[in-house]
Amino acid sequence: MPRLFISLFLGALLALVPVIAQETPPNFVILLADDLGINDLGCFGRKDQNTPNLDKLATEGARFTSAYAAASVCSASRAALLTGQSPARLNITTFLPGRSDRASHRLMAPILNNNLPVGVQTIAELLKAKGYATGAVGKWHLGGKGHQPTDHGFDEYFAGKANPGAESPMGGKGELGHADYAVKFIERNKAKPFFLYLAFDNPHIPLAAPAKGIEANAKAFHPTYAALVESLDVACGRVLQKLEDAGLAKNTVVIFASDNGGVHVSELKESPPTFNAPSRAGKGFLYEGGIRTPLIIRYPGHLASKVIAEPVVLGDLTSTFCALAKITPPSIQDFQDLSPILFNSKPRADTRVLCWHQPHYMNQGSQPGGVIREGDWKLIEFYETGRMELFNLAKDPSETLDLAAEEPARVAAMRGKLEAWRRSVGAKPMVANPQFNRSLWDECFVKFDPTLIKAAATSEAMRPLQADWRKVMNDASTEGGNALIYLEAKDAQVKATKMHYEELPQKDTLGFWVNVEDTASWKFVAPLAGKYRVTVLQGCGKGNGGSTVSVETVASKCEFVVEETGHFQRFVPREIGQVELTAGDNTLTIRPLKKAKSAIMDLRRVILERIDQPGPMRSAFMKPPAVKTISLTAFLPYPETE
C-alpha cells in the first residue's frame, strides 16, 4: 500500500507540471528554375522532355494547376517570392536593370529600385532569427555589392557559374554544380533546421548542353532545351536524394517552381526554346504563358498527394513559411498563407483577387500593362492606350476571346479594383516618350503579334518567321520624330457647373458631363510643332451615345461623335482626328457642341502624337492582326482547339 500511495502521489504531482511538446521545426527547400514554362514537365503534360524526378515529386505532394509568378520576368518575381511583398510595392517591376527606353516605346519606364530595399525582411531573415541555417545557391539578380544574399539574411551564398560550358561537369547552365553545393549545405546543417534557396540558371538562354544530352533528345521540339531540362531534373534529383539519405525528407517542405513562364520567341541567337500552349504567349507577357508557373509542394506525412486548382502566387510562400515555422510574419504582406489550401479539404469560401503591375516593355516583345484576376475572370489593361481585354479563363484558357464589349460593367468594376490596388501599393506610373518613333513601334508591336505564335514541328523551323521582327526589336535607337503627349483627366482645368474630375479609383475620369457649356482644358508644352493625331480614352453608357464634341487648339480643331461603350467607365481609345500644335506652350480644350442624350461622356485621357507627314488616318490601337503560323504538332500536351 505505501508503494502504491507513493506511485499515485508522484503521478499526480507530475500531472501538475506543464508538458510542452517540442515539435521539430520543418526544413524548407526551394528549387527554383529560371524561365521554365508551365508545361515543360511531364507531370504538367509535356511529352517530349524527360523529367522523372520532378514527376515523382508531384505524385508525393501537391501539384498546382493555377499557380502564378508575381511578375513575368525574373527579378520582380524573385523579389516577391523572398519578401511576400508585391513587385509594385518594392518598385522592382522588371528584371534588373530593365530594358532600356528606346524610340520604339510609346511610354518611358519609371525609375526602379536596383536592389531589394533595405529594411524589407526576406524569408531568410525571418527564419534565421528563429535559429535556422540559411543558404542561397545560384542566381540572385536582386542587387550587387552591399545587396547580396548575405546582406539579406542568408548565412552563405554560392553563385556558381551560369554558363560554364556545354560539356562542363557542372552542367551546361551550372545546375549540377549548384546541386552539388546544395547537397553539401544539407550535410553540414542536417542537425539543425535549415532553409535552402536553390535558384538555378537553368534553362535560361543562352542554351548550352552536352552533345550526348542533345543527341538523346534529338526528337524534342528543341533538343538543346530538352537536354537542359533533363539535366535540371537530374540536379533536383540529387538534392531530393540527399534529403532521403540524411533522413530529412519527412520533415522538409520542398517547393519546386519557375520564376516566370517559358520563352516562346526567338531571343539573342536562340530559336524559340519552348512553347506554353494552351497558355497564350510566354515570358515577359501578361497573358497566362508569361505569368503561369509549374508549382509542386511536398511535405510528407503532413500534405497528402493532391492536385490544387485554386489560384495561388509564389509570393504566398513567405506567409506560408512563417505559418509552418510558427513565426509572426512581417506587418506588410501582399500575399496569403497557403496552409488552409494545403491542409484543409474545403476550398476557400471567398474569391481571391490577384493583381499585377508591369510598367515596362520586355525583350520578348510585350507591352506595359496591368492585370487583375478575380475568380475565373481576367482583365488586362494596356498602359499605352488604356485599351482593356477581358477573358473567362474557365471557358477560354488560351485567352482567345475578348469579352470586354460583351461585359462592360464587369470591365469597369474590375478596372476600378485594379486601380485601387495600384494606389494601395504605390505603383509607379509611366510617362509619354518625347522621342517616340511611330514606324519602329508599328514594326515591333503592330505588324507582328508575338502573342499569337504557335509552335512548329521544331524550334528551328520557327526562326525565319521571326527574323525581321527580332531585328527591329533589338533596335536600341532612342531618337524619333513622333513626339507623344498624354493629357490626364486629373490634370484638366475645368470650367463647369457639374462636370468635374472624379478621383475614386473606379472612376478616375472627367464625369458628370451633362451640360454642353462645361469644358475641360489642358495647358502643356509641345516639344515639336506640327500636326498631331488625337486619341481620346472615352466611355459612354448604353443609350447615351451620339453627342458631338470639339477638340480645339489655338490653330485648329477637330470634331468627333461620342460612341457608346456599354458603360461610362468602360473606356475605349479612339483616334478621332488631328490638330496643329506650336513648339512650346499650348492649350487644348474639349468642348461639347451638341448633347444627344442625358449625358455626353466620361473622359479619362487625351493622347497627342506628332505626325511626320500628313496622311490618311488609321487606328493604331485596334487589336493587331493575327500572324501567319504553322500548325501545332504532336508534342503539344493539349489539342489546338482547347
Residues with a known catalytic role = 74, 141
Q: Say whether 45 sits in a helix, a strand or coil.
A: coil
DSSP annotation of 615 reads -
Instruction: Using alpha carbons, list the distances in angstroms from residue 201 to 130, 178, 358.
Output: 29, 9, 23
Among residues 171, 295, 172, which one has the least CA distance to residue 238?
A: 171
Q: For residue 174, give the H/E element and its range.
A: none
Please, what is the angle between helix 175-188 and helix 223-245, to 10°?
10
Does residue 36 contact residue 268 with C-beta atoms inside 8 Å?
no
Residue 404, C-alpha cell as written in the block:
470586354
Strand runs labelled E in 151-206: 156-158, 194-199
Q: What nine digits make up the cell of 156? A: 552563405
d(CA 297, CA 64): 8
C-alpha cell at 10: 508522484
Q: Locate 301 and state its grid cell.
A: 506525412
- Sequence-distant (≥ 6) Cβ neighbours of residue 107 within 8 angstroms: 359, 368, 383, 384, 430, 431, 432, 433
- In whole angstroms, give the CA distance from residue 175 to residue 51: 14
* DSSP for 428-489, written as a single string: PPPEE-TT--HHHHHHHHTS--GGG----SSSGGGHHHHHHHHHHHT------S--EEEEEG
Provide φ and ψ at 237, rounded to 5°.
-60, -35
Residue 15 φ then ψ, to 5°: -65, -25
> Which residue in 365, 312, 360 sits closest to 340, CA to CA?
312
HEC secondary structure over 396-414:
CCCCCCCCCCCCHHHHHHH
Question: Phi first, then psi: what are they for 201, rounded to 5°?
Answer: -90, 0
Angle separating helix axes 52-59 and 223-245, nearest 10 degrees: 50
And the C-alpha cell for 222?
528543341
Strands 306-308 and 156-158: unpaired
Cβ atoms within 10 A of the Cβ of 119, count? 5
Q: Which residue has the cell 477637330?
A: 558
**CA gap 406, 418 in Å, rounded:** 20
H or E element that contains 415: helix 408-425
φ/ψ bin of 40: left (φ > 0), alpha (ψ from -120 to 50), beta (otherwise) = alpha
Q: Could you tell me which residues come within 8 angstroms of residue 470 by beta carbon, excluding any fewer than 6 positions away?
A: 265, 266, 267
CA distance to 506, 522, 564, per residue, from 500 (Å): 15, 14, 20
d(CA 43, CA 630): 26
CA distance 277 to 311: 19
